Amino acid sequence: MGPPGNRIVSIPGTAVMVAEVTYDYQPLVSSTIFPLTETIRHESAFNVRGRRNNDLSNTQELARLECD
């Protein structure tokens, strides 16, 4: 995944989370003064950490809160 020469791959046995954000920008000043693109786009990839224990626990013995 990704553009040629900058592909996103995962190491065998691991996972990668990919996030992509696209925003249509409406400039406040004329684009003839400041040549800006009207679409801002960013993508990023993160290695997913494996969890050894998937059980939920209260190891810090925090107080339990209730909603009224």
pLDDT at 34: 67
pLDDT in tens, 43-65: 888 887 766 666 778 888 888 88
| Residue 19 scores a pLDDT above 80 | yes
- Into how many domains does the chain fold? 1
Please measure the distance between the N-terminal and C-terminal CA atoms of the chain and give it in whole angstroms: 47
**Is residue 22 situated within a structural domain?**
yes
**Is residue 41 situated within a structural domain?**
yes
**Is residue 11 situated within a structural domain?**
no
**Is residue 27 situated within a structural domain?**
yes
Reported as a pLDDT band with limits 50, 70 and 90, residue 21 is very high
| Half-sphere exposure for 60 (CA within 13 Å, toward CB) | 3
**Is residue 13 situated within a structural domain?**
no
**Is residue 33 situated within a structural domain?**
yes
**60 compared with 31, residue with greater pLDDT:** 60
Q: What residue numbers bound the domain in which 34 lies?
A: 18-47
pLDDT at 31: 66
**Is residue 67 situated within a structural domain?**
no
Task: Report d(CA 64, CA 68) in Å as an integer.
Answer: 13
**Is residue 29 situated within a structural domain?**
yes
| Residue 32 scores a pLDDT above 80 | no
Task: Report d(CA 2, CA 35) in Å as an integer.
Answer: 26
